[in-house]
Structure 1
Amino acid sequence: MERLFNADCNPKLLSPLTLAFIGDGVFELFVRERLVCKGNCPVNKLHKNTVAQVCCGAQALAAQKLLPILTEEEAAVYNRGRNAHVGHVPKNAQIADYHAATAFEALFGYVYLTGNIERLRELFELVCEANA
């Protein structure tokens, strides 16, 4: 599978917050597709299950599971995302969790934009195992 829009884009030139912006959407699409493919259920339940998996705390926990298996390049992207100046932290989030979630999203954005969809699936499967 290739990227959805598939225009020329060099993720190495993008800021970590820009990578997190796209990674947020990529990860949420993975979560939504996984939930829908598990079976038909009310949309409200799908929404609640999605929010539980894409929230800051859940992403921070998932990031901890991925750290040991990241390549050097992926770890560098993760660290750039974690150290990014986010401007604000939602009142219901811990600062450390928010930074880890931003890093997690930056990682997903970077891997997606490199076109390495197989690696993206691998990372997502590891996240799913962590949530099982």
Structure 2
Amino acid sequence: MDNNKIVNKNDISNYSPMAMAFLGDAVYGLLVREKLVLECNRPAGVLHTLSIKQVNAAAQAKGAKKLLSVLTQEESDVFKRGRNTHTKHTPKNQSEGDYHYATGLETLFGYLYLLGEEKRLRELFEIINGDGVLNSETGSDKD
């Protein structure tokens, strides 16, 4: 994906934060699923249950807060643009604050994906999940 820009940097401002968050949600979910498969090869139903624990507003908000100090100014601006976007609803089982932070994270991941920045995406993902967050709930042994 590096150097495989889908969108030129000059054109990316044409996309709304919510459109980038829509894409970023899928990118983040794929990275979680990839990590789960590679680290704890389990049946699909178990993997799905484990992924739900990571791909939700509370977990993503926690992850976003881990990133704030390492973001470039440009990345921080994109994150804030997503976080501050007014949405039509907040999921009933999530706090509004968590939802906004998660939206900021998803916006950033969508932005980086569109620019073909896979290396940076993976760096940020590892800051969030590289400390065994996924394994801490799954066990590191493989069947």
> Normalising by the residue count of structure 1, what TM-score does the alignment of the two structures yield?
0.91
User: What CA deviation, in whole Å up to 9, does each residue of 1:10-36 have, x standing for no partner?
Assistant: 322211101100000000001111111
**Which residue matches 2:141?**
none
Q: Which amino acid aligns with 1:80?
A: R
CA contact (8 A) 2:7 2:114 kept: no
User: What CA deviation, in whole Å up to 9, does each residue of 1:13-61 have, x standing for no partner?
Assistant: 2111011000000000011111111242111110011110111100000
Deviation at 1:8, TM superposition (A): 4.3
CA contact (8 A) 2:6 2:115 kept: no
Q: Distance in 1 between matches of 2:25 and 2:15?
A: 15
What runs of 5+ residues in structure 1 fail to find an aligned partner? none
CA contact (8 A) 1:3 1:112 kept: no
What runs of 5+ residues in structure 2 fail to find an aligned partner? 137-143
Q: Distance in 1 between matches of 2:78 and 2:64?
A: 12
Larger radius of gyration: 2
Report the CA distance shift for 1:129/1:93 in structure 2 as closer, same or farther (over 3 A): same
> Normalising by the residue count of structure 2, what TM-score does the alignment of the two structures yield?
0.85
CA contact (8 A) 1:3 1:113 kept: no
> RMSD over aligned Cα, in angstroms?
1.7
**Which residue matches 1:117?**
118
Q: Distance in 2 between matches of 1:76 and 1:8?
A: 18
| Structure with more helix by fraction | 1
Matched residue count: 131
